[in-house]
Structure formats: structure tokens, C-alpha cells
Amino acid sequence: MFNAIVINKDEQGYRAGLTAVDEQQLPAGDVTVKVLASTLNYKDALAISGKSPVVRTFPMVPGIDLVGEVLHSDSVRFQSGDKVLLNGFGVGENHWGGLAEKARLNSAWLLPLPAAFTPEQAMAIGTAGYTAMLSILALQKHGITAEHGEILVTGANGGVGSYAVRLLSKLGYTVVACTGRPNESDYLKQLGAAEILPREQLSAAGKPLQKERWAGVIDCVGSHTLANACASTRYGGAVAACGLAQGMDFPVTVAPFILRGVTLYGIDSVMRPLADRSKAWQHLSELLQPADVDQIASVISLEQVVATATRLLQGDIRGRVIVKI
Ligand code: NDP
């Protein structure tokens, strides 16, 4: 038996809780791991609360991220004792995930744990940090350098936002952090934000074209915020859209794209090929020091996951949460 957060949906309703599970119930896969650490992402909180249809088969163990130690492997890529990293690939959505003491996974989803990080540090970064890095790599590929001007990060106090601010600032960019929590301005400035923009300035419907300001944007919230960000991006600039915390809608016109040549990049971390993941984690290994990670993350236990998921959806959690298993 092992302990796991299990989500059920039946005649008693939708519910999640810490439960002892028989190992025989683990799903198919060629690598079985002892989970060393996991984390709580926005998507995990949606899955646990049932507020959004993230999970479609039940029972389900949530947790889109994990670091594990291999107990058994039928894959030539991994041997028992190896430490492996998993982000996404539908794990925690349609395959049992990381908020558990054990997991059985497909080796094609796994990367070796980067040597620069402990299991907890890798989970402090998790899908959030990896997605922030993918977003930055998209802006860099577009040719945006620090000299081009200000980069806007929306949802800045969240996991993706916090890492976007820290990483951009480490790379020498001037970062403007947009947040609904001005009381966390000192935290954002410590991460490297040059200026704090109140959320209200971007979250309501705005004009199709606005004063050109941003060389680039990393948007974690979607909806009017993303539309306004596109409308105020400078000629030839780029916007990386990775989140939907405000909403999935996108009430924009074509004006920024056809009159200012703005490019919108969609960032998906879930099904990203292993080569892109390795590249992103290599950059994270080079850029982040333990102090950066400590600044952004707090630690909880498996017992605290369900309550913390509620707080996360209320926008009450700053940065990232490591789940120490
Ligand atoms: P968090 O909950 O940690 O952060 C979300 C942040 O968005 C909050 O901290 C808050 O920032 C802001 N926010 C919340 N509600 C609203 C609102 N109604 N209007 C405007 N801003 C709001 O989540 P993550 O950082 O883990 O994820 C951020 C988004 O990115 C989520 O939508 C998530 O689903 C998505 N995501 C997508 C990935 C991909 O592959 N594309 C991968 C990972 C995440 P503040 O308090 O500073 O305003």
C-alpha cells in the first residue's frame, strides 16, 4: 500500500483526499518510481477542486510534476536508483500523477533529474519554471534582447509569473510585473521587477491599439489582459501566451498583428518534445541558484495538499509550493 491524493467522482459527488492505495492499482508503464517530491500547480488545484474538467477518468491521482527515484525499470534509458524528472505529458490528468508516494510512468516522458538541482529544488521550479523558460526562449528566438525595451509579465506573483520575472531579470531584461497583489511589490522587486503595474490597468476591455510600450510580453492570465498586452506591444514585438488565470477568452482585434506586426506565440509545456524540455532545463540549471528557488517556494506535506489547492485557486499563494513526499 502507498499513500496518494485520490480524486473520485461518483454518486457521492466530486471529492479528493489522502488515501491508502494498493500498489496493484498503479497504471501501466515501464518505469516505477518512489516519488521524492512533487508540487502544486494551478492545473493540479483545478483537478483537485473539480472547478475545471482537468480529470476525465476516475479514480485519478493528480500531480503533473514529480521527481522520483527509479525502483524498477523495463527501459534501457533508466536503471533502479536513477533520479528522474517528469513535467506534464497528461500525467495527473489521464494517467496517475505525482501527488503520491509511488508512480508508474512511461519512460518516454522522463528526463534525468538535472544535476544542478535537488528533488525539492526541481519541484520548486516544476512546470511553472519550465513554462516560464519556454516562454523566454520563444521571445529570444524572436530576436528580443534586453536592449529592445521593457518586458511585461502578467500574473507576476504566481508560479509561472515569479519565475518569468526572476529569469528575465537575471538575463538583463527590464521587467514590468503586472499583479493584483500590490502588497507583494517588495517580493516582485526582490525577484528583479523594475516596476509594478496594477492588474486593473490591463484587466478590463481596452482599445484595439494602444500606446506602444512592450518589446515583449509573457502572459499568464489570458482574456482582456492578453488582449491589452497585444494592443500595447511595440512594432515587431512578440507576446508569449501561456496561461488563462483571468479567463480562456481572448477579446482582441487583428489590429496589433496586421498594423504593428506583433507576433503571438502559444506556449504549451504539456506535450513538448523531450529535446525542448532538455534545452529549457539546461537553461534553468545555468540561470537559477538555490537562493532564487528558496525565495520563490514554500514547502507542504501530502496531508496539506487539498487545503492548499483551495488557497491557490483563491489567489492566496505566492510563488510556488513544493510537496515533500
Ligand atoms: P498561479 O495560481 O501560481 O498564478 C496565477 C496568477 O495569475 C496569480 O498568482 C495571480 O497573479 C494571477 N491571477 C489570478 N486570478 C486572476 C484574475 N482573475 N485576473 C488576473 N490575474 C489573475 O498559477 P501558475 O503560475 O502555476 O499558472 C499560471 C497560468 O498558466 C495558469 O492559467 C495555468 O493554467 C497556466 N499554465 C500553463 C502552462 C502551459 O503549458 N501553457 C503550464 C503552466 C501553467 P497576481 O496575484 O500577481 O495578480
Q: What is the pLDDT of residues 8-36, one digit of tens each?
A: 999 999 999 999 999 999 999 999 999 99
Look at ligand 1, atom 11, and give the residue with the nearest C-alpha. Answer: 155
Q: Distance between CA 307 and CA 284 in Å, rounded?
A: 30
- pLDDT at residue 318, as a whole number: 86
* CA 152–ligand 1 middle distance (angstroms): 14
Nearest to 265 by CA among 244, 243, 239, 245: 239
Does the CB atom of residue 132 touch ligand 1 within 6 A?
A: no
Q: Distance between CA 324 and CA 207 in Å, rounded?
A: 46
Contact 98, 21 (CB under 8 A): no
Does the CB atom of residue 268 touch ligand 1 within 6 A?
A: yes
**CATH 1.10.3720.10 correct for 2-113+290-324:** no
Just give the CATH number of 128-266. Answer: 3.40.50.720
| Burial status of residue 286 (CB atoms within 10 A of its CB: 0-12, 13-18, 19 or more) | exposed
Q: What is the pLDDT of residues 230-259, one digit of tens each?
A: 999 999 999 999 999 999 999 999 999 999
Does the CB atom of residue 41 touch ligand 1 within 6 A?
A: yes
Residues of the chain with CATH 3.90.180.10: 2-113+290-324
The 3 state secondary structure assigned to 140-197 is HHCCCCHHHCCEEEECCCCHHHHHHHHHHHHCCCCEEEEECCHHHHHHHHHHCEEEEE
Q: What is the pLDDT of residues 26-62, one digit of tens each?
A: 999 999 999 999 999 999 999 999 998 899 899 999 9
Confidence (pTM): 0.96
Taking the alpha carbons of 77, 82, 85, 86 in that order, is the dihedral positive or negative? positive
Residues of the chain with CATH 3.40.50.720: 128-266
Q: Distance between CA 211 and CA 197 in Å, rounded?
A: 15
In ligand 1, the atom with minimum distance to the C-alpha of 188 is 47
* CA 245–ligand 1 middle distance (angstroms): 4
